[in-house]
Amino acid sequence: MEGRPKDESELFSRAQRGDTAAYEEIVQRYQLVAFRTAYVITGSAADAEEAAQDGFVKAYRALGTFRSGAEPRPWLLKIVANEARNRVRSAGRRHHLELRLAERFRPGDAAPSPEAEVVAADDARRLLDQVNALSEEDRLVITSRYLLELSGEETAAALGIPEGTVKSRLSRALGRLRTTLGEVSRA
Amino acid sequence: MPELEQQLNTLAAQIEWPATPNLVPAVRSRITARVVLRAPWYQSRWALAAAALVIALAALVAYQPSREAIASWINVHVLFQRVHVIPTPSPLPPGPLGQRLGLGNQTTLSDAQKGVTWHVVVPSKLGDPDEVYLQLPPTGSAQGEVTLVYSTRPDIKVAGETGVSVLVTEARGAVDRNFFGKMLGPGTTVEEVTVAGHRGYWIAGSPHDFYFTDANGSFRSETFRLATNTLILDFGGTIVRIEGNLTKAQALEIAASLR
């Protein structure tokens, strides 16, 4: 995910003064996390692209509400995630999100990654299968926090819930995931 | 860190995400050249047909023989009375200025600032405003609208019978010259200007209506209160309108002093 360059607040200040080039740089920096967050919510790459685009346009118009010195990622993610949820609501259905392992990590691939930390291919597939099989609420919080690597504040903004709720929801979701993984390994 | 969380953290690097599209060109085109997708209501076929019907009926009612024929036909005794409609913006009835010009509630500059999320800019060239008004949704623009009223100022003629020399109105949003320029009447000209890096438009003549996209992205039209020369400035996402019997040089000087 993107880093947080020191001139971020300067970029936002310039954008707030109407500098569209500064805002384009903001879009460039945050489009990856915005698009993936929208993808996790909508389950569709096409919907995620539209939601992220609409979110960035709305964020531009709402730049006046951005407090100087505040963290930009939660602010932007909140707007983009709202767009994504609105899109799901208006469509009346959500595509089922089915996350996949990148090809080089799939079981049976000849050359395993050299990094020692990489979870063994079979274990990775088993874990991802169980994440995919979680309830929507559990899957959203685990995917946002661990697979999108959002902070607690960013997860709260993306899911539209208080940070305290993220913690309790995450704890329960991890508990259920542990249980199902235990059942699978015993079977 | 517990083992499961560690495994999930490691799994993050192994996920196959869809390729991230480059959103910059699309976002750029939407924020720099906003297109009005829906024609205003008065351009619809139904509205034009209704307007034609109203005009036809008004012509019949205005002409005394047909008026009496209509009254006789519908078998009622109706007194058609011509009502003197007070033209906007002047002359105006007595009463509080804000009410007369539809500016919202009178307040102080500091309270107006507390009522909105953006920084309210004030032109130092005109000194302190004589009155300040705040209009919040639903009647005001999304995120509210602040108006600074300047009564008499040297070298600026008071507009109409308003007792006002200059009005400075501020709201969050964006303007699209391609659209609002077409809505201005004959004899009114639009010229693009730049003030301290902020893009703006100098509208000379007697403009009456103004169209913009507010902070929610909703299309909005407003009436210029003074129907005088007007400078519109995009001040970092805040639309600042400076209305008054001003020369272009005076308006630009006032705009340059916005802080």
ipTM of this predicted structure: 0.85
CB-based contacts of A1, cutoff 8 Å, min separation 6:
A32, A33, A148, A149
- Output the CA angle A157-B15-A47, nearest 5 degrees: 55
Interchain pair B22, A52: CB under 8 A: no
- Torsion angle, CA of B34/B39/B171/A13, rounded to 10 degrees? -10
The pLDDT of residue B89: 46
Which of the four pLDDT bands, split at 50, 70 and 90, describes residue A33?
very high
The pLDDT of residue B115: 87
Interchain pair A100, B15: CB under 8 A: yes
Interchain pair B14, A105: CB under 8 A: yes
Lowest mean pLDDT among A31-45, B53-67, B126-140, B162-176: B53-67
Query: With contacts defined as CB-CB under 8 Å, which chain B residues touch A101?
Result: 14-16
Lowest mean pLDDT among A130-134, A157-161, B96-100, B251-255: B96-100
pLDDT in tens, B208-248: 666 667 766 666 666 666 668 889 898 888 899 998 888 99
Q: Mapping DSSP to helix (H, G, I), strand (E, B) and coil, where does residue B209 land? A: strand
pLDDT in tens, A74-95: 999 999 999 999 988 877 666 7
* Total CB pairs under 8 A between chain A and B: 132
> In this complex, is the C-beta atom of B37 within 8 Å of any C-beta atom belonging to chain A?
no
| Helix (DSSP H) and strand (DSSP E) numbers for chain A | 8, 1
The pLDDT of residue A1: 46
pLDDT value at B39 more than 70: no
The pLDDT of residue B34: 44
pLDDT value at B51 more than 90: no
> In this complex, is the C-beta atom of B144 within 8 Å of any C-beta atom belonging to chain A?
no
Mean pLDDT for B247-251 is 91
Which of the four pLDDT bands, split at 50, 70 and 90, describes residue B37?
very low
Residue B191 distance to chain A (closest CA, Å):
19
The pLDDT of residue B58: 75
pLDDT value at B138 more than 50: yes
Is B92 or A138 the better-scoring residue by pLDDT? Answer: A138
Mean pLDDT for B40-54 is 71
A167 and B5 in contact (C-beta within 8 Å)?
no
Interchain pair A99, B15: CB under 8 A: yes
Q: Which amino acid is at B138?
A: P
Interchain pair B23, A17: CB under 8 A: no
Is B184 or B24 the better-scoring residue by pLDDT? Answer: B24
The pLDDT of residue B84: 37
Query: With contacts defined as CB-CB under 8 Å, which chain B residues touch A65?
Result: 117-118, 143
Q: How many CA atoms lie within 13 A of A126 on its CB side?
A: 16
The pLDDT of residue B195: 86
CA distance B126 to B153: 7
CA distance A50 to A32: 13
